[in-house]
Amino acid sequence: MKPAKKNIQKVKDKIKAITKDKNLSALDLIQILNPILMGWANYFSKVVSSKVFQQLGMYIWYKTFKWRKKKHTHLTGSAVADKYYTKVGNRKWVFYTNYGNKKYFLYPIRKTPIVRHS
């Protein structure tokens, strides 16, 4: 069993709608997307969804990169990457922002463990 295509499309549509607002700050985007991603990943972590999580991770990366590129039209792609993405452990291209003295990261849906029932 794996997530239905309509469920995958629903979460993609939510992500797309949220990332259309280029006036959001990076912190606002992270705070809006994290509960959606965590809830969706936790719900579907009981079925065969690691490949779907990988695909959604790529989709989220693409949407966040495109979202920042629209906001900073004067910056090159590599400048946007340097400003909004970092490496955390063995994970590359982690979307983050600094606010005050704290760093906020986007939930890594690809790294959600799949838990089997016995």
What H or E segment, with its residue span, contains residue 86?
strand 85-88
Q: Which two tokens stand for residue 86?
A: 């970092």
Q: What is the pTM of this model?
A: 0.88
Whether 28 is in a domain gets the answer yes
- Which pLDDT score is estimated for 77? 86
User: Looking up tokens 């849906």, which residue turns up?
Assistant: 109
Residue 97, amino acid: T
- Which pLDDT score is estimated for 115? 81
Whether 25 is in a domain gets the answer yes
Whether 113 is in a domain gets the answer no
26-63 pLDDT, tens digit each: 999 999 999 999 999 999 888 888 899 999 999 999 99
- Which pLDDT score is estimated for 6? 96
Whether 27 is in a domain gets the answer yes
57-112 pLDDT, tens digit each: 999 999 999 999 888 888 888 998 898 999 998 888 999 999 999 999 999 998 88
Domain assignment of residue 63, given as a range: 5-95
Instruction: Specify the length of the chain in residues.
Output: 118
Whether 118 is in a domain gets the answer no
